Amino acid sequence: FVFGVTIVFGFLEEIGYMARVSYAFDGSMAKLGLQGKSIMPLLVSLGCTIGGAAGTRVIDSWGQRLLTIALAWAGPCAATFAVIPTLASAFFGWAGILVIILLFIIALIHIRITATIFGRKLAPEEERHGLIMELPPYHKPRWGMLFKQTLIKIWGIFKKAFSVIIIVSVVFYFLAYSPDGGIEGSVLYKVGIVIEPVTRFFGMGWQTFIAFVSSMVSKEAVLGVLSAIFAGTGNIFDSTVGAATADAELGILLTTAISKPEALAFMIAVTFNIPCLMAVSSTYQESHSLKWTGRIAIYYIATALILSSLVFHIANIFM
């Protein structure tokens, strides 16, 4: 996906179309403290946040580039919508579509608030300027140069991303490991039991909280981790790194073990959590700032937990 996004962005820029798209959306993006060049990375992030982060390279200002990435994290990616509709339909049936609509509404509000918070530092008012650019004529792409630049960009992204993923995967392996392969013997289980009084405040039991933590590594891991915990299929580590699949009757098991308010809080938490580990790595790759990457990550973890807590306690009143 990242290769496809990078080459499409390069192609649009090469033929002269990217400048016209940026110009058309400059007024809309200005309301968020951004230039028109941010529109394409934000749209691409609905498919993959990693690709959206890579697409910000066309933005001239470092601050606006990082602000664009920060806002892109708020948009639910394709991996999120491989998980959330399954859970929404299992717990709410036909009303699951209302949950999806709610997520989009929260995402739009989230983007606006995030732009206000981070925009003060990354794109202050005095540094915001209108987009002044010369629209280049349309012309045929130089395919050789396009593929060469794309491969160079892709190599830079994945070289940094895989080094981070290997480290985190090793750490997560030891946390999730147990001699018999079951959840009860793992460090995560023991920690989960201890911190459950705290996680309950955020609307999640230790089981759903562990799945929430796994979503930081990969959104696709959520169903597999839930299956490993509730159905006993596979183990936590295999589920997190994508080597295990969800049990076919997972929906039935979840609805008997988890209340609707907890399920709704969990879906909110997963949706607005860190997109994935590679997205974090890609953000660092594009920003070259560990401090700002950490700030954005902590911000999203905190807001995900705050939102889940609010939704859980409100839902408890009506459900």
pLDDT digits (tens, 9 = 90+) for 286-309: 888 899 999 999 999 999 999 999
In order of 3, 128, 290, the CA distances from 268 in angstroms are: 30, 33, 27
Number of helices (H), then strands (E), in the chain: 17, 0
For 136, other C-beta atoms within 10 Å of its C-beta total 14
Chain center to CA of 315: 24
Q: How far apart are CA 279 and CA 217, in angstroms?
A: 9
Alpha helices in the chain, H assignment, sequence order: 2-15, 18-24, 26-30, 39-45, 49-55, 62-72, 84-92, 96-122, 143-176, 187-199, 206-214, 221-230, 236-240, 250-257, 260-271, 277-287, 290-318
pLDDT digits (tens, 9 = 90+) for 163-210: 655 665 566 667 766 776 666 777 777 888 888 899 999 999 988 998
Sole residue written with tokens 């023991």: 190
Q: How far apart are CA 49 and CA 9, in angstroms?
A: 14
Q: Are 211 and 266 in contact (CB under 8 A)?
A: yes
| Predicted local distance difference test score (pLDDT) of residue 247 | 44
Q: Are 221 and 277 in contact (CB under 8 A)?
A: no
Chain center to CA of 128: 27
Pairwise pLDDT comparison (305 vs 28), residue with the higher score: 305
Give the torsion through C-alpha atoms of 86, 87, 88, 90, to 10 deg.
90
Instruction: Find the angle CA(287)-CA(161)-CA(227) to the nearest 5 degrees.
Output: 120
Question: Could you tell me the pTM of the whole model?
Answer: 0.78
Instruction: Indicate the helix (H) or strand (E) that contains 222.
Output: helix 221-230
Q: How far apart are CA 279 and CA 244, in angstroms?
A: 22
Chain center to CA of 131: 28
pLDDT digits (tens, 9 = 90+) for 115-171: 999 988 888 876 666 666 666 676 777 777 777 777 776 666 566 556 655 665 566
Is 134 strand, coil or helix? coil
pLDDT digits (tens, 9 = 90+) for 62-107: 888 999 999 999 988 877 887 888 889 889 988 889 999 999 999 9
Q: How far apart are CA 59 and CA 101, in angstroms?
A: 31
| Predicted local distance difference test score (pLDDT) of residue 29 | 82
| 45: pLDDT strictly greater than 70 | yes
